[in-house]
Amino acid sequence: MAKMLKDTLKTIEKYKSSNPHYEELLNILEEILILREEYRHNMNENIFPVDETLIEKKVSGGLPLVDFSRENFDLAEPKKYFLALLKIAEMQTPSETREFAQKIEDGTIDFEKMIRASFIIPHEEEISEEPVDESLDLIELFLEESLRPALEILAEKYGKVITESEWSEGYCPICGKEPKIGELKEEEGRRFLFCNQCGFEWNFMRIKCPFCSNEEQQTLAYFTIEGDERYRVDVCNVCKRYIKTVDFRSTKEEANLDVEGIATLHLDMLANEEGYM
């Protein structure tokens, strides 16, 4: 993991030079990754216990290993990590962040309810029509990150079993979160979806919407940015959802999708402007 972190930090430094517009966000990501490594070493592996006798049934039934809508978990350690992450935000908005952190600590704001709410997929009418905020919602980012070390442990432990099971759903088999970004790999251009929540990556049909399962080619499309076809946005004209896709096959580079998620925020804005959610 230490080598992976070192490689990721090198990638971030490279992107700061090529994407100075995102330097502030990339600096934040850098701090998050260092803090993640620290907390991961001390994270209790039993925060999200998995009944191994039920894995096969869950996967075949399209159920993720961890179900935040049905199960109760002790989130004391993720909450502690979340409060540590808020220290990063204090550099931008000190008074607001301290006030928010205090409400989390004293229970005025229920951390567990916030976590559960983050797994609820909003209905179309609940999604804002305003363009994506290029600065990102740091609270949303930190909420997602607060579970990452513990869920990452599960992804590594059961990833091989999931891969061999040929999971075919558009949401993560580990935690049930929807993907925001994916990647085309190998000579035949196999498509993999990436879960920012737990870091797991799984193979998914190329001509299929991961959100509504639409497979009608005439209603599935994509657009790229002129001059850099390594990045594209796959869109579905049935559910009006989109997902960003990275294709580094021609450059032989290894994509780090944590970093790419930040470095491609302009694609989120473009997709939003075109009416996709």
- Catalogue the long-range contacts made by 83-87 (C-beta closer than 8 Å, 24 or more residues apart): 84/35, 84/39, 85/32, 85/35, 85/142, 85/145, 85/146, 86/142
- Domain edges within the chain: 2-273
pLDDT higher for 135 or 112? 112
* pLDDT over 90 (residue 110): yes
If we measure between CA atoms, which residue out of 245, 265, 269 comes closest to residue 255? 245
SS3 (DSSP) at 230:
strand
Q: In what order do the strands lie in the sheet with 181-185?
A: 201-204, 190-194, 181-185, 242-247, 228-236, 220-225
- The pTM for the full model equals 0.91
* pLDDT over 50 (residue 155): yes
Query: What is the average per-residue pLDDT within 262-269?
Result: 93
Q: How confident is the model at residue 69 (pLDDT cuts 50, 70, 90)?
A: confident
Q: What confidence tens digit (pLDDT) does each residue in 222-251 have?
A: 999 888 889 999 999 999 999 999 999 988
- Please tell us whether the domain made up of 2-273 is placed in CATH 3.90.1670.10: yes
